[in-house]
Amino acid sequence: MKKILISSFVFVILFNNKAFAYLDPGTGSIILQAILGAIAAGATWCSMYWQKVKNFFSKKTKKKDEDIKG
């Protein structure tokens, strides 16, 4: 495994070419949009599971309250 990593590293370092690429402003917009979408998806995922946690603990407290009143 180490031989593969070392040989890959040497290959990349010795045989790299300069890339004359142009990134227009639209590319930055797409990257920003992808980052914001990932943040929104993460927030949605967290809120769904937070709601499940809240429901789990609220059911336990409701059962205890019913047992005390009943």
Assigned domain for 17 exists: no
40 found inside a domain: yes
pLDDT in the model for residue 65: 57
Establish if 48 belongs to a structural domain. Answer: yes
Displacement of CA 60 from its chain's centroid (Å)? 31
- Provide the residue range defining the domain that includes 50: 36-70
62 inside domain: yes
Task: Tally the domains of the chain.
Answer: 1
**54 domain residue, yes or no:** yes
pLDDT of amino acid 32 = 94
Helices in 1-70 by DSSP H: which ranges? 2-14, 25-69
pLDDT exceeds cutoff 90 at 55: no
Domain membership flag for residue 11: no
Backbone phi and psi for residue 19, each to the nearest 5 degrees, phi listed first = -105, 120
Q: Which residues contact 14 (CB under 8 A, 6 or more apart)?
A: none
Q: What is the reported pTM?
A: 0.49
Whether 70 shows a pLDDT value over 60: the answer reads no
Report the share of the chain in percent with pLDDT over 70.
84
**CA 35 – CA 40 distance, rounded (Å):** 9
Question: Poorest-confidence range of 6-10, 23-27, 63-67?
Answer: 63-67
* Any domain includes 19: no
